[in-house]
């Protein structure tokens, strides 16, 4: 399974209502105009990395709907429509379903419980599903069973109480390397992979996005950027000041997959 080889992506335009998005840590409301600038740069980075991007219209009734990775998972041959735990996001999966059905011949639905896609880390040989504030154990186990049936080895793991989503605290750098906060690294078994631990005070930078030969990284974390500059990757530095105010990272703003010609 290719964990970071992508040529297709779905994103959603931020609505004016993004200023009312969920904020777990009491951050000030973001500036919508600046979010639009950050989002446009994000789309440019995906395209620069070799991805064709489908842009869906804003959903004003759902402030957090630009974070399309939470209500769905996508793989090369199928997609999964998830069930979100946050009441304000409960309708998002249904409104994304048609776009998924148009791109995938198979779209499965989560059978039980709740899962946010931000809690699902796809590695080269397995999938980790984190139990968190947004993903309950019933949902995690239901998703694991579904993915196991599709031939994807899946493991349910714990997420620290202070971490919103599993991928808020860890992400894939390459087939053999993950980036993680010290807190997540201490309790998560990443197998034989090398773990790069975020510098103290820059834990928010743990969510990086590998796309083909490029690595999208927030420029808010200079010591982390310096660490990653030593890796054999082309870094694309992203401005995330405003999206960070609504608990967002780089992975959550797109659904990405490899579509064979």
Catalytic residue positions? 165, 252
- Alpha carbons 122 and 154: distance in angstroms, whole number: 9
Task: Please say whether the beta carbons of 183 and 191 come within 8 A.
Answer: no
Contacts with 81 (C-beta within 8 Å, 6 or more apart), sequence order: 71, 72, 93, 94, 96, 97, 100, 107, 108, 109, 110
Q: In what order do the strands lie in the sheet with 127-131?
A: 120-122, 127-131, 154-158
- Alpha carbons 89 and 255: distance in angstroms, whole number: 17
- The tokens for 87 are 């009441």
- Alpha carbons 213 and 219: distance in angstroms, whole number: 18
DSSP state of 199: P
In order of 47, 230, 249, the CA distances from 118 in angstroms are 22, 27, 9
Q: In what order do the strands lie in the sheet with 194-197?
A: 170-174, 177-180, 194-197
SS3 assignment, position 92: helix
Q: What is the phi/psi pair of residue 217, to 5°? A: -140, 140
């Amino acid at each position: 399974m290719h964990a970071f080889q992508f040529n297709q992506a779905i994103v959603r335009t931020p609505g004016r209502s993004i200023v009312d998005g969920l904020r777990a840590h009491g951050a000030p409301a973001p500036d919508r105009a600046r979010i639009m600038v950050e989002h446009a740069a994000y789309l440019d980075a995906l395209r620069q990395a070799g991805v064709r991007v489908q842009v869906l219209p804003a959903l004003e009734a759902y402030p957090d709907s630009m974070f399309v990775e939470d209500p769905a998972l996508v793989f090369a041959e199928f997609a999964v429509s998830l069930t979100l735990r946050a009441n304000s996001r409960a309708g998002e999966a249904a409104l994304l379903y048609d776009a998924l059905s148009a791109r995938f011949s198979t779209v499965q639905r989560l059978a039980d419980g709740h899962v946010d896609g931000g809690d699902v880390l796809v590695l080269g040989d397995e999938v980790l599903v984190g139990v968190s504030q947004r993903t309950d154990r019933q949902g995690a186990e239901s998703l694991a069973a579904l993915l196991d049936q599709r031939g994807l080895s899946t493991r349910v793991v714990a997420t620290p109480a202070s971490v919103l989503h599993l991928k808020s605290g860890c992400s894939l750098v390459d087939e053999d390397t993950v980036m993680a906060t010290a807190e997540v690294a201490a309790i998560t078994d990443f197998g034989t992979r090398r773990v790069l631990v975020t510098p103290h005070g820059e834990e928010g930078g743990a969510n990086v996005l590998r796309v083909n030969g490029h690595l999208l990284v927030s420029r808010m974390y200079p010591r982390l950027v310096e660490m990653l500059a030593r890796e054999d990757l082309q870094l694309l530095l992203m401005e995330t000041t405003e999206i960070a105010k609504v608990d967002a990272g780089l992975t959550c703003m797109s659904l990405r997959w490899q579509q064979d010609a």
